[in-house]
Amino acid sequence: MTGADREYRRIRAERDRPGPVLRKAPGPTAWFDVRRGRTGHWAFSLNRITGIGLVFYLYLHLAVLSLLLAGPESWDGFLHLATTPIFLGLDVVLIAGLAIHGLNGLRVALIGTGLVPDRQKALFYTLMVLGAIVVVYSILHIAESA
């Protein structure tokens, strides 16, 4: 085999190997890539982030509820913590997460079953506005009762 033949075979072999695959950005950082997505991408990313957040919250919630088993002092201790401003702030974050995830899920369900005609972007904005109203209302309500 001549040198030229060897070169040719090397070229063929290298071409046949699979090449690198670009992703929108490596891993979960893709979720925050502003340039690359339009509203649909944001809806997708928000849903994932809030979903993970809510799962995390669920474990936290169960852990907190387990305090009930430890008796009235530990529960009272928790209630004291639960009325601090920071905690109430986190409550608002939780409500926002629930609103976004729930309403977006509603959008996906409505679109997927064909109950809503082809207006998915309008639906997304409407539901997010609704969610924003819910969050604002809850902020006001919490601030009032605090």
Partner 1 sequence: MSDPTPADGRTRRFRLFRYRRGDGAPRSETFDVPVGASRTVLEGLRWIKVHADPELAIRHSCFHASCGTCGVRVNGREALACVAALDATTTSVTVEPMANHPVLADLVVDMGPFVDRFTEPHPLVRPVEPAAGPAMSPEGEPHERFEDCIECGLCLSACPVAATDDTYVGPAALAYAQSLLDRGEGDRDAILDWADGPGGAWRCHAAFECTEACPSDVRPAQRIMALRRELVRPRRRR
Partner 2 sequence: MSVRPSRLRSAHVLIVGGGGTGGALAHDLALRGVRVTLVERGEFTSGTTGRHHGLLHSGARYAVNDRESAVECIDENLILRRIAPGSFEENDGLFVALTDEDMAYYPSFLEGCEATGIPIEVLTPAQALSMEPGLNPGLRAAVRVPDATMDAMRLPLRFFATAKRNGAELLNHVEVTGLLIDQGVVGGAAIHDHVTGRDAEIRADIVVNATGPWSESVARMAGVDVPIRPSPGVMLAVRGRLCQMVVNRMHASGDGDIVVPQRALSVVGTSSWVVEDPDDLGVPEDHVRRMIEEGSRLLPAVADAPFRAAWSAARPLIGTRGDADSGRELSRTFKTIDHADVDGVEGFVTITGGKGTTLRGMAEVCADVVCRKLGSDEPCRTRETVLLPHTAAFAA
If one asks whether residue 140 binds partner 2 (CB under 8 A), the answer comes out as: no
Binding at 145: pick from partner 1, partner 2, none (beta carbon under 5-8 Å per type): none
CB closer to partner 2, 14 vs 144: 14
- Rounded Cα gap, residues 69 and 88, in angstroms: 24
49 touching partner 1, by CB under 8 A: no
Instruction: Give the one residue of 3, 71, 72, 114 binding partner 1; rule: CB under 8 A.
Output: 114
Choose which of 6, 9, 24, 61 interacts with partner 1 (CB under 8 A).
24
Query: What token pair was written down for 19?
Result: 């090449």
Q: 74 vs 120, which CB is nearer to partner 1?
A: 120
CA dist 83 and 54 (Å) reads: 21
Rounded to whole angstroms, how far apart are CA atoms 60 and 53? Answer: 11
Q: Phi and psi of 37, rounded to 5°?
A: -125, 160
